[in-house]
Structure 1
Amino acid sequence: MPQIEETQPKYLQIAHFIRDQILRGDLRPGDEVASERQLAADWSVSRPTAARSLEALSHQGLVEKRQGSGTYVRSLEVNRRARELYGRARQTGKIYAPGEYAVITSAGWLDAPDHVIEALGLAKDRRAMHRRRITHNQDGPITLSTSWFPPDVGQRAPKLLEPERIQEGTLLYVENMTGRKGSYAEERMCARRASEAEATDLHLPSLAAVLVVHHVVRDLQDRPLEFAEATYPPNKWAFEQGYPLT
């Protein structure tokens, strides 16, 4: 078992260790996670600290607590496009695949809507940095997305203000400018009718349905680093999941 370090809250170190086991596949969906009592003994921490680590994992959507039974790994949905974008950017320095390109339609400071304020954990100041883009390939627009960043990130990453593409991608640029590294991401998704603006940007009929994904990236200290809202048109594959049949 790793030793507790002083550079990070103890509960986060425990949560990140278990999170990495889940993402590597060492702990699979349905597997039981160590109890508060076991974590406290293994890591030499108090029961409240162990409980808080399990709460953090639950907040991240990685585990669920079953009354009277224990804590278990949840089934994970994988966002193929988000995973490929981050992986491609880290490996090649380019975020888009051949034939894809993005047009930045707006960038700068805005009063953030309520769901962005909640996702970024903003307090009194509603102002946040945003970048709105439409991604295209040879067939036309394939994604409409807006990234939002907390004020401290916006102040330290001036290129976010510019309506030009950031070659390595916004997340890697933000990491380099702030020294804060993205650690994990949370996603929620739903289908709904496209708004008038979305239908126009994605070349859709007015009553078309779209898939909307809310994507939050957190750093090693569990602080929100980026919130992105992406809208996918119909008949564009954006997600995949593999799972064993036995």
Structure 2
Amino acid sequence: MPQIEEAQPKYLQIAHFIRDQILRGDLRPGDEVPSERQLAADWKVSRPTAARSLEALSHQGLVEKRQGSGTYVRSLEVNRRARELYGRARQTGKIYAPGEYAVITSAGWLEAPDYVADALGLVKDRQAVHRRRVTNNEEGPITLSTSWFAPDIGQRAPKLTDPGRIQEGTLTYVERMTGRQGSYAEDRVCARSATEEEAADLGLDSESAVLVVHHVVFDVQDRPLEFAEATYPPSRWAFEQGYPIT
């Protein structure tokens, strides 16, 4: 169990820990979250502090309290962003939550588009490895994403060109094969109309708007390790961030 840090209110640290479990898919809709008594014991805090953490989760719309029963994860239309996927992969060895799976629609070497080449720092050799996937759950497609890697990474990580799934997660596999560790990432977000290909893969109308995230992972030496473009359908929450008002 994580230790309480003084920089943030205790109840928020507990709430954020449970929130991350929900966003990663470790806690699924309908799962019961720990009770006030259990949270107080696990985190070594008072019952009122534990109660306040559950109240914060309720205000965020993540859980609901059932009279005489307990507190449960609400049914949510949530798309996990890369941060939650990485956390799940490192903690469980699996990148997808139960009920989710990915279909690799294409993989191999391609000439990188300008925006990909810029993100990966490709100058002379514009050939890069791509992996395009559609993530699904029991209701159908939920996310479309394409990961791109520079030529040297593609040569050292041959599974990237194989359309079969990489069970440990693409980034974890790349880290293992190259010895380069992901250190931090940057996201750029915009909304636009779906392309014909995106609409077909996500089961959308041709006029649908989508949320597009350009995601770059950097290693400990500030070199780009992975560029990914993720496309999220409308009417699904893809991002959440809490911050203090001062």
**Superposition TM-score, scaled by structure 1 size:** 0.68
SS of match in other structure, 2:229 = strand
4+ residue runs over 6 A deviation: 24-27
> Where does residue 239 of structure 1 map in the other structure?
239
> Where does residue 159 of structure 1 map in the other structure?
159
The one-letter code of the counterpart of 2:226 is E
> Where does residue 114 of structure 1 map in the other structure?
114
The one-letter code of the counterpart of 2:193 is R
> Where does residue 96 of structure 2 map in the other structure?
96
Q: Does 1:190 align with 2:186?
A: no
The one-letter code of the counterpart of 2:198 is E
How far apart are residue 148 of structure 1 and its match?
Answer: 0.1
The one-letter code of the counterpart of 1:152 is D
Matched length: 172
> Where does residue 105 of structure 1 map in the other structure?
105
Indicate the percent of aligned positions where both proteins have the same amino acid.
78
Q: CA–CA distance in 2 between the matches of 1:109 and 1:153?
A: 12
Per-residue CA shift, 1:65-84, capped at 9, x if unaligned? xxxxxxxxxxxxxx952111
> Where does residue 206 of structure 1 map in the other structure?
206
How far apart are residue 138 of structure 1 and its match?
Answer: 1.1
SS of match in other structure, 1:200 = helix
**Superposition TM-score, scaled by structure 2 size:** 0.68
Q: CA–CA distance in 2 between the matches of 1:147 and 1:98?
A: 22
The 3 A distance-change label for structure 1 pair 25 and 142 is: farther
How far apart are residue 242 of structure 1 and its match?
Answer: 0.5
SS of match in other structure, 1:89 = helix
Q: CA–CA distance in 2 between the matches of 1:225 and 1:139?
A: 32
How far apart are residue 245 of structure 1 and its match?
Answer: 3.0
Is the 1:80–1:240 contact (alpha carbons within 8 Å) kept by the matching residues of 2?
Answer: no
The root-mean-square deviation of aligned C-alpha atoms, in Å, is 1.7
The one-letter code of the counterpart of 2:200 is T
SS of match in other structure, 2:94 = coil
Per-residue CA shift, 1:79-102, capped at 9, x if unaligned? 952111000000110000111000
Q: Give the alignment of 1:160-179 within 5 angstroms.
A: 160-179=160-179
SS of match in other structure, 1:108 = strand
| Unaligned 5+ runs, structure 2 | 9-78
SS of match in other structure, 2:173 = helix
Per-residue CA shift, 1:44-64, capped at 9, x if unaligned? xxxxxxxxxxxxxxxxxxxxx
The 3 A distance-change label for structure 1 pair 124 and 130 is: same
The one-letter code of the counterpart of 1:242 is G
SS of match in other structure, 1:171 = helix
Per-residue CA shift, 1:104-139, capped at 9, x if unaligned? 000000000000000000011110000000000111
Per-residue CA shift, 1:187-227, capped at 9, x if unaligned? 10100000000000000001000000000000001000000
How far apart are residue 25 of structure 1 and its match?
Answer: 10
> Where does residue 43 of structure 1 map in the other structure?
none
